Structure 1
Amino acid sequence: MTSQSELILEQNLISQLTANGYDKVTIKDETDLLANLKKQLEKHNNKVFSDSDFKQIINHLSKSNNIFEKALLLRDKFAFKNDKNELVYVEFINMDFWCQNEYQVTNQITVEGSYKNRYDVTILINGLPLVQIELKKTGIELKEAYNQINRYQKHSFSSNTGLFNFVQLFVISNGVNTKYFSNFGNKKPDFKQTFYWTDDNNKRISKLEDFANTFLEKCHLSKMITKYIVLHDTDKMLMVLRPYQFFAVERIIDKVKNSNHNGYIWHTTGSGKTLTSFKASQILSQLPKVDKVVFCVDRQDLDYQTAKEFNAFKPDCVDTTNNTKSLVNQFNDANNKLIVTTIQKLYNAITKEHHLKTMDNLKDKKIVFIFDECHRSQFGDTHKKITQYFKNYQMFGFTGTPIFVENALSKNKENQTTASLFGNRLHQYVITDAIKDENVLRFSVEYVGRYKEKNSQNEIDTEVEAIDSKELMESKDRIEKIANYVIQQHPLKTHNKEFTAMFCVSSVEVLIKYYDTFLKLKEQGKHNLNIATIFSFGANDDMISDTDNYDERDFNTVAEPEDNSYHKRDKLESYIEIYNKKYNTNYSTKDSILFYNYYKDIAKRVRDKQIDILFVVNMFLTGFDSKTLNTLYVDKNLRHHGLIQAYSRTNRILGEKKSQGNIIVFRNLKKATDDAIALFSNKEAKEIIIMQPYDKYVKDINEAYQKLINIVPTFESVDSLYSEDEELEFIIAFRHLIRLKNVISSYVDFTYDDIDLNEQEFNNYKSKYLELYDKNNNIKNKTSIINEVDFELELIHRDDITVSYILALLANLKATTNEEKERKQKEILDLVAGESKLRSKRELIEKFIIENLPLIQPENIEEDYNTYMNEEKQKAFNKFVEEEKLNSDKLKKLTEDYLFSQRTPTKQEVVDILENQPSIMQRAKVGDTILSKFMNFINTFFND
């Protein structure tokens, strides 16, 4: 295939869009942009604005540069008094009839901020730049276009009137591959949040030409902006639906508008069902024919969690139902069209005598029920009661693991399936689709353990898969061996506790044995892991099967104790007491509210990485989402949907370092895992869902190493690379190698002895890679091709090499001989130089060693280092002010603003902190100098 240049791609795209109904307009700069905006707003609103009218409009649009606030302004009308003192309303985009807007396309708009930027293709709706398209020639990776947009965010989108902060969607393409994403603003960018568009069968539409005909079709594009971008109020960010979410919502809306049929959505676990169901619920609640939309979950914690997330998407859009009476009141509140509740409260509302009088007038109302996790919530009497009670209802279910005949549980000798309860499947997006799209991770499943089995003749090795004896599985020796194994492997699996884990076991009794073992080993100094647990303790324990999760009874009732449930509760109470002391909390099993709050606190601390391993039996194995959780230890028989649900706790996307979900199995689950994968995808899906064997990654990393040494035979050869193209070739080759190393390092079997690359050689190449990063970071020529490469430094950041780690090494120097001290000091400084996040501090740490270390006591080294760094920071600040003749208060404010927003200041902003303003001719040069020094100051003293 012939490589197409950016210019040809750009010209072809513009020609295609104009043929599809866009008006081509020439806009060179902000002056042209503003003049065009005035004309388009006049056309769209069928009004004529005087210059003073338009000035009021621009002042309104420019009053904030915050992306989220701009998005709110876009969606709202603006009222002002014109020259004749008449009240005038201006609409910026037609939200209800999305096709009735004005569409234009332009290219090469130049905007000057801290640097001059020229944008490729801009789509204007009613004169506002709402879609920005960045193109790269065929063969260049999309990440380069993504990084270019990230630079525009920092350097120029906020300049002047900041109209480019109205951009809602970005599109990046190299002609062959095309992706879209919402405007991330000043949030930390994540390439994982870019999406391919597909058809409704999940077939990818990647060519720019095809993408332009589908996604960029005028009506579809404005529908995506007006209906399918969600403004997340809590995080103050824009979220755009992915294609499978869009098609699912569209199918549900179509069913409600045009039929009375039910249906269900099969979207794999981790694919964002909450966002999909929120958008479906929100749109349904706005339909005139719908009286109520009731979103049902099957647990109280999900009631709270879902209502919280819905309200985060749109503040106060739902009231949380604290009890059944509150639910009944909401049903009868005409202004409350969207309700989030639990199955249990809904069941009580339509079966309890004292509620029926109030509820009966709703029987004939049009009510749409949406059931979350319908694979487990609708297989009892509740479904039948709802269908018998309401006369004008529709039901839709969401599930990541439907119930088929193969995994159905018999109910009155009938195998009820998701389809038998909800009808046709309206849309599906299975785990293989999600892995292909990089919306969820693959699983690395390792089966651990071998046992000696005696027979009459000899001892033979038997794989753990062949053993399932209760006596053996629950033995003290086995549990201690597994505990020690987990303690040993946990740092490896979680990148030195950068991620967290769950440990699921077969019963509460076994959990207690494990937990007591881990507590004992911690007392013995064998580990420093933060552990926690929660489990049910009442008489209904046995009612909960291996493949089901707990239900609301765990929080809302305290059952009469039977048999050993006193012991279970006492043990849990003792574990909670340890938890209370550690985290200064006051939870208990003594009433449902305290116990429920304990559950919520644990969930939060797992997400915040304050808990390293959470021990569970059934709780948390479904419905719990935590991006920071990457490992599941399994000593429990799982199967079918229960297995997939449990495994899927680990596979949420989070940056490059989290390359897979780790599943470490101490049970006979090999066949169960293969069967579950076949059931919920297809028989050929195993190679897509499960990581390849260790030997395959050994082969891959050796091939990557061979490609690397073909480019640079030794690490010294990097210094001889003359052109940027040669340097780029090395950077891409080494980046591929470190990606593979990140994966293979998580395997228990990994050792450098198995691969052709030795550790010292890897570190040598890494140093050269970091030198090129430093060199590129200081390049003034922003058109450098290397400037557009993502170095993915998180993959070579070693979690144990921190300031604290370095200080611990320095403390140990006190006891060494002078000769050994000199050698170790050099080793420590080389370590600092090889760590991407500490390189800027190398000179300061070296100075600290020479000037201060001989006088410091080891126990005070961290405190003395912090004092030293604060003094050096103040000296550097004063020197910066004096040398560049800056206003110290303004520099302090600029620093605080950067630390809060993480946005690189514009050249104008840094020039403004000068005591004396330079001439117009000198501004650009002076701005570059001050900005460079400012970022060096930030990286040295604030970035760890």
Structure 2
Amino acid sequence: MSVQSEAQLEAALVKRLEGLGWQAVSIPDSAALASNLQTQLETHNGLKFSPGEFRTILNHLEKGNVFDKAKTLRDRFALQRDDGTTAWIEFFNKTEWCRNRYQVTTQVTQEGAYKNRYDVTLLVNGLPLIQIELKRRGIELREAFNQINRYQRHSYGAGNALFQYVQLFVISNGVNTKYYANNRNQDFKQTFYWAEEDNEPIKSLDKFADGFLEKCFVSKMIAKYIVLHESDKNLMVLRPYQYYAVERILDRVMKGRKNGYIWHTTGSGKTLTSFKAAQVVIENPKVDKVVFVVDRADLDYQTTKEFNFFSPGSVDGTDNTNQLVRQLSGETKLIVTTIQKLNTAITRERHEKALQDVKDQRVVFIFDECHRSQFGDTHRNIVAFFTKAQLFGFTGTPILKENAVGKQTTRKLFDEPLHKYVITDAIRDENVLRFSVEYWGKLRRKDGSLIGDEEVASLDLKGFFEDDRRIGNVVDWVIQNHDRKTHQRQFSAIMCVGSVEALTKYYEAFKSRKEAGLHDLKVATIFTFAANEEDAEANGLIDEADVTGGPVNIQTQHSRDKLASYVSDYNAMFGTNNSVKDGKAFYVYYKGLAKRMKWRDKKDFVPEKGIDILLVVNMFLTGFDAKTCNTLYVDKNLRYHGLIQAFSRTNRILGQVKSQGNVVCFRNLKEKVDDAIALFSNRDASDQILIEPYQVHVDQFNKAAMDLFQIAATPNAVDKLESEEDILAFVRAFRELMRIRNVLSTFAEFSAEDLVLDPQRFEDYKSKYLDIHDRVKANNDDDLKASIVDEVDFELELIRRDNINVAYILTLLASMSSGDADEAEDAEAKQKAVLDLLGSEPRLRSKRELIEEFISSYLPKSKSEEETIETFWQFWKQKQTEAFETLCSEEDLDPDRFNGLLEAFQFSNKAPLTDEVLQAVRTQPGILTRKSVAERIIAKMVSFLERFQEGLGE
């Protein structure tokens, strides 16, 4: 039986969509797309447009980027008609979403920088809102994802840029099907399977089409469940479990006033779900107010800013409870406030009169984290005060009878769970990462047997755990292994310890070793002033952190003074002016730490300004999310929801390098880990949640290496691979090696001697791998014969080393200067090392020709290191000037204006707009070639900056 071709898959899908109510239509190119749009908009709006009126509409639709166009789609346009009247044009009916017009077309051709043909396009009222890219069975989905990325770069902005109205992308090879929002900043890991309500994934294209692509359902997704994220200016679409959660809440609000809670595992996007739930519930005319309740520590997080974009004035960001009272008693329908301030408002007599009217109104409360320990009192107060309150909670770690400290459980407070999505679901769907848990410093008896967790808990081991020598040994271990754990500090770490006393010892140990020159890690800390913070050790759960620092009195003065001195170190390290003189200053410092820890997540991150290790007792172990935190060092008793919450600081999805969340335990927590996994998933889930031990990965690597040798026995044998199938097999085999090695490299016991492929041969194979990548990258024109290697994701981030840059190469070159005869052999070895690096480092390959030219033409003449360095930068500047002049000449550019474009591009990392580029062009191109000319110049700008400006180093 032959494999279904891509064309057959496409034809079968179109036939299925026709059965679902989509009308098949032929639209070969941009002109036909615009013509069809006019017809569809006229019918949808019950109007006829003159040529001039439709040009006005097209001009309106063409403005802005993808985010701007998403707003345009949802708004009406005031069209000034030829007769002087105004007509309001609707592009998409978002309130009665089934009352739109639906068409399906295939193989639309757009010509931008390259000519591209798109597989299946779903048009709503003539606008392309869903784009489907197909691959034949057996081809990776990632290849369809990469193809869409190429289309976005090359041709979606061509013509009238109507393809920038795409809201959802669907990628499928027939067997596997995923969807995602039109957001250029995401990677393949942010694509999703649709699923049944019980979280069973729907993978086949047929079933996905029947459910998700049914015309009313997909319209509903676009109308209600795509979030326009104002802070980041991008689109986000809800995942299936988020959709079901919001729908269940909405259904419960429609049918009565019963409460409920959503159990969605930590890291699965609960805050986005609760935000969308608040948006949807507030549209219900029977609801008077929606109050979104967060903890004080979370108020400044980005999602609360999104509420203000959605409903201006909704976020109560002041310290004054009177502001909340005014919101509750006034016209504000959506309110975002803290649990602490809400409790104050409804329990103080002075506010009772002002809140008299709202007491009997229908108020829906949505709690972002309902597992928090102090919620019990507030819950009782809310129910007692608001006669028609309806409460919904979100939690990743509910309080069940097994992990309840008292008698209260999440179910008793909120009634039944409305939807569950536990950690095993999230790991299966690749929405969170698995954990790599290593145990070091385990307690043993004299006979060598391990002391169990329960036995440890029964012993008075405070003195042992806080012994200076033991803490010193742990700090030395962290210093030795931190770079390995964090991939050379691409990521950060949190270290949690058992008490403030232990924390001060840890901090002083890190500090003394830094002063001795033993490390250069940036360690910061924060803790509350409470004298008995270590009492949490008794039950292994995480108490609520007081972000005002706690009481200042004689009992807490010592710890407060200690923290003040550590904040002084922080100020000296980062040039800040923080203090902990009072609760307000403490909160400012807390927010500053949170922002600095999250800064790594952003493109403008500067490594020198980041925290490497944040040292805490309880703070930052719940609720805090930083995607670039990948490691947790644990010297603290943890159990149940406290353990899962703390571990989950490390397992947010982020690219290929972050393959798992690293947890290093310096206590015997194995039994506690197993118990927590059993409670929040099931007893047999450890293999799904924890990655395999070191030796398993070694065995996997060695097997993958043997598979590679079968394809190409030596690196040079790669050059002899002729068929595309063989080349593709090599790419996939070496990519698998990279993936396994990426995981292996984080283990403390990692040794290259355990692997059958030694480091030098790995580098040699890597050079061949990059050669193939460069050839593929040079051929992205869809008009050329398609190559099966073209769309493979080479995952270069797995092998990129930011510390290997031009400055590093120059250091090697300088050390080769003025050597005598005895050093000739060493210089030759260094030169070979340089040439090898130029071939094996992705960031250096664009600079390879230049550096090789310098080595051959200038290096032999240099007589000293200083002369080599000076000559190199003169050479580099000369070559940059020549390349700049050549580019200006080829594209007929004004040098001053073009230089301004380059500087702005380099500063903002945002490509200039078409009009901005064309302002630098001396001879203006025709209207039909404007976009393609601009895109070609931008591509050359990227290449120029990549070669001469990026990856230089200090």
Cα deviation for residue 907 of structure 1 reads 12
Q: Report if the CA contact (8 A) 2:115-2:781 is conserved.
A: no
Q: Distance in 1 between matches of 2:327 and 2:536?
A: 31
Trace 1:404-803 onto structure 2 (pairs within 5 A).
Answer: 404-410=400-406, 415-449=407-441, 460=448, 469-539=461-531, 541=533, 547=540, 549=542, 551=544, 553-555=546-548, 558-562=551-555, 565-609=556-600, 610-779=610-779, 781-782=781-782, 783-803=786-806
- Specify the SS of the correspondent of 1:501: strand
Q: Report if the CA contact (8 A) 2:112-2:931 is conserved.
A: no
Per-residue Cα deviation, 1:580-634 (whole angstroms, up to 9, x for no partner): 1221211111122211111111111112240000000000000000000000000
Moved more, 665-674 or 340-349: 340-349
- Specify the SS of the correspondent of 2:489: coil
Q: Choose from 325, 336, 339 the match for 1:340.
A: 336
- Specify the SS of the correspondent of 2:356: helix
Question: Does the C-alpha gap of structure 1 residues 683 and 835 become closer, same or farther in structure 2, counting only changes over 3 Å?
Answer: same
Q: Report if the CA contact (8 A) 1:297-1:377 is conserved.
A: no
In structure 2, runs of 5+ residues without a counterpart are: 601-609
- Specify the SS of the correspondent of 1:106: strand
Aligned amino acid, residue 384 of structure 2: Q
**Is structure 2 residue 834 aligned with structure 1 residue 828?**
yes
Map of 2:244 onto structure 1: 247
Per-residue Cα deviation, 1:100-153 (whole angstroms, up to 9, x for no partner): 111111111111111111111000001100000000001000011101100000
Question: Does the C-alpha gap of structure 1 residues 870 and 331 become closer, same or farther in structure 2, counting only changes over 3 Å?
Answer: farther
**Is structure 2 residue 401 aligned with structure 1 residue 394?**
no
Trace 1:102-121 onto structure 2 (pairs within 5 A).
Answer: 102-121=101-120
Root-mean-square deviation (CA), in Å? 2.9
Q: Choose from 363, 366, 371 the match for 2:362.
A: 366
Trace 1:104-253 onto structure 2 (pairs within 5 A).
Answer: 104-184=103-183, 187-253=184-250
**Is structure 2 residue 883 aligned with structure 1 residue 876?**
yes
Cα deviation for residue 813 of structure 1 reads 3.7
Q: Distance in 2 between matches of 1:105 and 1:750?
A: 53
Aligned amino acid, residue 10 of structure 1: E
Q: Distance in 1 between matches of 2:440 and 2:545?
A: 35
- Specify the SS of the correspondent of 2:649: helix
Question: Does the C-alpha gap of structure 1 residues 342 and 913 become closer, same or farther in structure 2, counting only changes over 3 Å?
Answer: closer
Moved more, 623-632 or 380-389: 380-389
- Specify the SS of the correspondent of 2:129: strand
Q: Distance in 1 between matches of 2:503 and 2:258?
A: 45
Question: Does the C-alpha gap of structure 1 residues 908 and 3 become closer, same or farther in structure 2, counting only changes over 3 Å?
Answer: farther
Cα deviation for residue 542 of structure 1 reads 6.0
Cα deviation for residue 2 of structure 1 reads 5.0
Per-residue Cα deviation, 1:172-217 (whole angstroms, up to 9, x for no partner): 0000000001011xx4341111110001110101100000000001
Cα deviation for residue 933 of structure 1 reads 5.8
**Is structure 2 residue 262 aligned with structure 1 residue 256?**
no
Q: Distance in 2 between matches of 1:543 and 1:345?
A: 26
Map of 1:939 onto structure 2: 946
Q: Report if the CA contact (8 A) 1:264-1:424 is conserved.
A: yes
Question: Does the C-alpha gap of structure 1 residues 923 and 612 become closer, same or farther in structure 2, counting only changes over 3 Å?
Answer: closer
Aligned residue pairs total 930
- Specify the SS of the correspondent of 2:391: strand
Instruction: State TM-score, norm by structure 2.
Output: 0.92
- Specify the SS of the correspondent of 1:358: coil
Question: Does the C-alpha gap of structure 1 residues 923 and 307 become closer, same or farther in structure 2, counting only changes over 3 Å?
Answer: closer
- Specify the SS of the correspondent of 1:675: helix
Cα deviation for residue 79 of structure 1 reads 0.4
Map of 1:3 onto structure 2: 3
Q: Report if the CA contact (8 A) 1:343-1:377 is conserved.
A: no
- Specify the SS of the correspondent of 2:91: coil
- Specify the SS of the correspondent of 1:376: coil
Q: Report if the CA contact (8 A) 1:137-1:175 is conserved.
A: yes
Cα deviation for residue 917 of structure 1 reads 8.0
Cα deviation for residue 312 of structure 1 reads 6.0
- Specify the SS of the correspondent of 1:359: coil
Q: Report if the CA contact (8 A) 2:264-2:395 is conserved.
A: yes
- Specify the SS of the correspondent of 1:150: helix
Moved more, 497-506 or 919-928: 919-928
Trace 1:308-319 onto structure 2 (pairs within 5 A).
Answer: 308-311=305-308, 317-319=314-316
Aligned amino acid, residue 333 of structure 1: G
Question: Does the C-alpha gap of structure 1 residues 518 and 856 become closer, same or farther in structure 2, counting only changes over 3 Å?
Answer: farther
Q: Distance in 1 between matches of 2:937 and 2:326?
A: 62
Q: Distance in 2 between matches of 1:452 and 1:596?
A: 42
Cα deviation for residue 864 of structure 1 reads 7.4
Cα deviation for residue 405 of structure 1 reads 0.6
Cα deviation for residue 885 of structure 1 reads 5.2
Q: Report if the CA contact (8 A) 1:230-1:313 is conserved.
A: no
Cα deviation for residue 389 of structure 1 reads 1.2
Trace 1:29-108 onto structure 2 (pairs within 5 A).
Answer: 29-64=29-64, 66-108=65-107
Question: Does the C-alpha gap of structure 1 residues 713 and 839 become closer, same or farther in structure 2, counting only changes over 3 Å?
Answer: same
Question: Does the C-alpha gap of structure 1 residues 940 and 379 become closer, same or farther in structure 2, counting only changes over 3 Å?
Answer: closer
Q: Distance in 1 between matches of 2:935 and 2:623?
A: 50
Question: Does the C-alpha gap of structure 1 residues 15 and 897 become closer, same or farther in structure 2, counting only changes over 3 Å?
Answer: farther
Per-residue Cα deviation, 1:299-324 (whole angstroms, up to 9, x for no partner): 34446655235336776553424321
Q: Distance in 2 between matches of 1:923 and 1:720?
A: 43
Cα deviation for residue 935 of structure 1 reads 5.2
Per-residue Cα deviation, 1:197-243 (whole angstroms, up to 9, x for no partner): 00111010110000000000111101110110011111110011111
Q: Distance in 1 between matches of 2:868 and 2:366?
A: 59
- Specify the SS of the correspondent of 2:372: helix
Q: Distance in 1 between matches of 2:937 and 2:471?
A: 61
Aligned amino acid, residue 835 of structure 1: E
Q: Choose from 273, 291, 295 the match for 2:292.
A: 295
Q: Distance in 2 between matches of 1:346 and 1:288?
A: 24
Per-residue Cα deviation, 1:388-413 (whole angstroms, up to 9, x for no partner): 11111110110000111100011xxx
